[in-house]
């Protein structure tokens, strides 16, 4: 039940320095004009991943260097403004071969003398045409998307993008209204585009979804309170709906309380290429912050005989127990988590943060349909009380000033262990990541 992606919360995007928010970018470019409102941002990301599977002879170890460039123009003057965005990506293999490929950092060649191994490099480029009228922005082309039902994976060396159209509106104070359609995706470890698949479902041969439609609204009209409602259709696979509510209450200057809820409902639709899906998944969290310390308790529940599923390599899993390695999203899974985080600014070391968490889940794999076209691999006659746990440590430092300002170094470690039939789903695993980001604002 390992993850192909790592959840990126709405509050943290690993390469936010290279991809400004749509609202801010639109506002700035509309004010300054096509040329004066233009920007070019680069990000150099060095990424090492070591995934040690305890029941396998070969580990998945890869090391690469990625480069991402994002150009965003301003808008032409007038009631209706036009502009263009462009991006280019290059990934270089520094290490990975001899049976150690496959950690998901680099692509794997499927043919030729290097079949089964990662190539020395891979690259891609894309462009987007955009139009602005009043508080509405329309984009068509290669898109960076980030919402609960379609979010591009940003947890690897290069980001995931989508090819399609999107529409966003900010007419009402505190409201975001958006929608769109994506027909193809550029995966984070691939050069070309392909149809959008799912993270946990196995599509039958020659079957695929033609597109994903989505629409949603997000609200932040009251200080400390946010809420959103989204719906999506992955054609011939599922309809998926999402709702969240999050509130941060400042007791005083030192203490804060943060309760929150995330809820997904997924139902098969059309040709039901992955079979019958009727899944309700939710998570609840409560965080107490005291100065530079915070403690979070979370509970997550999957009601359904299929796992909670989302798009392949995406970050569209806004659930509290989605961890570095496991999502704790198996069929009928119940899980809980305890997390402690500390910001070292409290002792005079700004930019240094840390988090330590422990998660534990229990699944019932006997109720999975062994004849399901998409999820039969989850069935286990011995999995009535399948259990697993994960321990995560995350340390990050961001340089605060000087020539290396915003250089970020992140160390991650995850240990996942399972029993009672859980190994039908996954193996015991230790995973280590070292990530170095260097963002550069060219203009």
Phi and psi based region of residue 342 (left: phi greater than 0; alpha: psi -120 to 50; beta: remaining): beta
Measuring CA to CA, which residue among 164, 234, 233, 152 is closest to residue 190?
152
The DSSP secondary structure of 349-405, one letter per residue, reads -TTEEEEEEEEEEEE--TTS-TT-TTTGGG--TT-TTEEEEEEEEEEEEE--SSTTT
* Euclidean distance between CA atoms 377 and 375, whole angstroms: 5
* Euclidean distance between CA atoms 40 and 70, whole angstroms: 6
Give yes or no for residue 219 having a pLDDT over 70. yes
* Euclidean distance between CA atoms 362 and 302, whole angstroms: 10
The DSSP secondary structure of 7-67, one letter per residue, reads ---TT--TTTTTS--HHHHHHHHHHH-TTTT-EEEEEEEEEEEEEEETTSSS-EEEEEEEE
Q: In the structure encoding, which two tokens stand for residue 142, read together?
A: 């290669």
From the CB of residue 203, how many other CB atoms can be counted at a distance below 10 Å?
Answer: 18
DSSP class of residue 408? E
Q: In the prediction, which pLDDT does 114 show? A: 55
Give yes or no for residue 21 having a pLDDT over 60. no
Q: How confident is the model at residue 18 (pLDDT cuts 50, 70, 90)?
A: very low
Give yes or no for residue 4 having a pLDDT over 50. no
- Global confidence as pTM: 0.90
In Å, how far are 15, 268, 402, 441 from 438, measured between CA atoms? 9, 42, 13, 10
CA atoms within 13 A on the CB side of 229: 1
Give yes or no for residue 3 having a pLDDT over 70. no
Residue 240's DSSP bridge partners are 232, 266
**Range with lowest mean pLDDT among 7-16, 139-148, 207-216:** 7-16
Domains of the chain: which residue ranges?
Answer: 22-441
SS3 state at 317: coil
Mean pLDDT along residues 321-332: 96
Residue 72's DSSP bridge partners are 39, 85
Residue 53's DSSP bridge partners are 429
Q: In the structure encoding, which two tokens stand for residue 166, read together?
A: 């999107």
Asked whether the CA dihedral 262, 267, 268, 269 is positive or negative, the reply is: negative
In the chain the first and final C-alpha atoms are separated, in Å, by 43
Q: What is the DSSP pairing of strand 408-419 with strand 429-441?
A: antiparallel
* Euclidean distance between CA atoms 253 and 390, whole angstroms: 34
Distance of CA 14 to the CA centre of its chain: 10
**Range with lowest mean pLDDT among 42-56, 162-176, 191-205, 398-412:** 42-56
Share of the chain above pLDDT 70, in %: 89
CA angle 55, 156, 68 (to 5 degrees): 155
SS3 state at 75: coil
* Euclidean distance between CA atoms 443 and 441, whole angstroms: 6
Give yes or no for residue 9 having a pLDDT over 50. no
Q: What is the DSSP pairing of strand 255-268 with strand 293-303?
A: unpaired
Class level of CATH domain 22-441: mainly beta
Q: In the prediction, which pLDDT does 8 show? A: 42
CB 341 within 8 A of CB 298: no
* Euclidean distance between CA atoms 26 and 239, whole angstroms: 30
Q: How confident is the model at residue 262 (pLDDT cuts 50, 70, 90)?
A: very high
Q: In the prediction, which pLDDT does 248 show? A: 97
Give yes or no for residue 7 having a pLDDT over 60. no
Give yes or no for residue 299 having a pLDDT over 50. yes
Mean pLDDT along residues 83-107: 85
Measuring CA to CA, which residue among 53, 4, 11, 41 is closest to residue 155?
4
């Amino acid at each position: 039940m390992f993850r192909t992606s790592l959840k990126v919360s709405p509050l943290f995007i690993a390469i936010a320095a290279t991809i400004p928010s749509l609202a801010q970018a639109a506002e700035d470019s509309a004010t300054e004009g096509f040329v004066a409102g233009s920007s070019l941002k680069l990000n150099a990301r060095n990424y090492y991943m070591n995934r040690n599977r305890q029941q396998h002879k070969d580990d998945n170890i890869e090391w690469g260097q990625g480069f991402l460039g994002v150009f965003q123009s301003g808008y032409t003057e007038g009631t209706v403004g036009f502009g263009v965005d462009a991006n280019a990506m290059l990934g270089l293999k520094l290490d990975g071969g001899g049976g150690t490929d496959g950690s998901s950092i680099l692509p794997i060649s499927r043919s030729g003398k290097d079949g089964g191994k990662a190539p020395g490099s891979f690259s891609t480029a894309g462009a987007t045409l955009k139009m602005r009228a009043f508080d509405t922005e329309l984009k068509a082309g290669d898109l960076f998307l980030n919402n609960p039902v379609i979010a591009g994976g940003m947890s690897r060396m290069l980001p995931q993008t989508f090819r399609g159209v999107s529409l966003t509106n900010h007419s009402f104070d505190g409201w975001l209204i958006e929608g769109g359609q994506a027909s193809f995706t550029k995966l984070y470890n691939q050069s070309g585009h392909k149809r959008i698949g799912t993270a946990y479902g196995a599509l039958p041969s020659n079957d695929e979804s033609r597109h994903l439609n989505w629409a949603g609204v997000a609200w932040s009209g009251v200080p400390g309170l946010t809420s959103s409602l989204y719906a999506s259709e992955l054609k011939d696979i599922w309809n998926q709906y999402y709702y969240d509510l999050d509130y941060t209450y400042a007791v005083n200057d030192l203490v804060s309380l943060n309760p929150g809820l995330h809820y997904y409902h997924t139902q098969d639709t059309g040709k039901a290429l992955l079979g019958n899906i009727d899944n309700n998944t939710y998570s609840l969290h409560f965080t107490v912050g005291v100065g530079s310390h915070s403690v979070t308790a979370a509970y997550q529940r999957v009601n359904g005989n299929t796992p909670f599923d989302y798009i392949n390599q995406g970050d569209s899993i806004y659930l509290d127990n989605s961890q570095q390695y496991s999502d704790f999203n198996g069929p009928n899974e119940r899980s809980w988590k305890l997390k402690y985080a500390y910001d070292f600014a409290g002792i005079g070391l700004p930019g240094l943060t840390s988090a330590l968490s422990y998660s534990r889940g229990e699944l019932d794999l006997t109720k999975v349909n062994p004849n399901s076209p998409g999820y039969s691999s989850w069935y286990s006659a011995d999995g009535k009380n399948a259990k697993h746990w994960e321990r995560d440590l995350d340390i990050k430092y961001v340089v605060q000033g000087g020539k290396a300002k915003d250089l970020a170094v992140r160390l991650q470690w995850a240990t996942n262990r399972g029993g009672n039939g859980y190994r039908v789903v996954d193996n015991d695993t230790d995973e280590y990541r070292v990530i170095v980001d260097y963002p550069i604002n060219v203009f």
